[in-house]
Structure 1
Amino acid sequence: MIQSTQLQIEKLNLIEKIIHIEDENLIAYLNAMLLENTNEYKLSVEDLSTIEESRSKYLSSEDKGKSWDEVKSNLLKKRDERL
């Protein structure tokens, strides 16, 4: 398989970034991600149930949802709490 020049550049950039990572937890996380079958992501039955419940509430106007800014802010807070 012949790869585009841009794809090769992006891969080299990632390798360069990985070389400079000192955080062992981040290395372990990246290693786990690379070892997983990344071509296919499967949601658990619980995840699917949660999504369907949220969707039903949204469609029935029981839950009005959140703006992208609210979602982004909440995700950033959760990420920062984990670090």
Structure 2
Amino acid sequence: MNIQLTKMELIEMLLNTRKTSVLKKVKAVLEEDLDQLTAEDYQIIDARRNRHLSGESKSFSWEDAKQSILKL
């Protein structure tokens, strides 16, 4: 199965549908797929947040982060 071809077929089908019920169902399925964080993921996020709030980790402004990324 060619995943890129499948995606293109789905995009075409979505563009051609006139049924809002179909669009709502597809949207619901895709949104479910986005929420894939595990309990371990949440523990890591909480630990990092706590380190940030306590001042243990360094933080950057958006401009600093953007400049750092653009240098890569």
TM over 0.5: no
Q: Normalised by the size of structure 2, how large is the TM-score?
A: 0.42
Higher Rg = 2
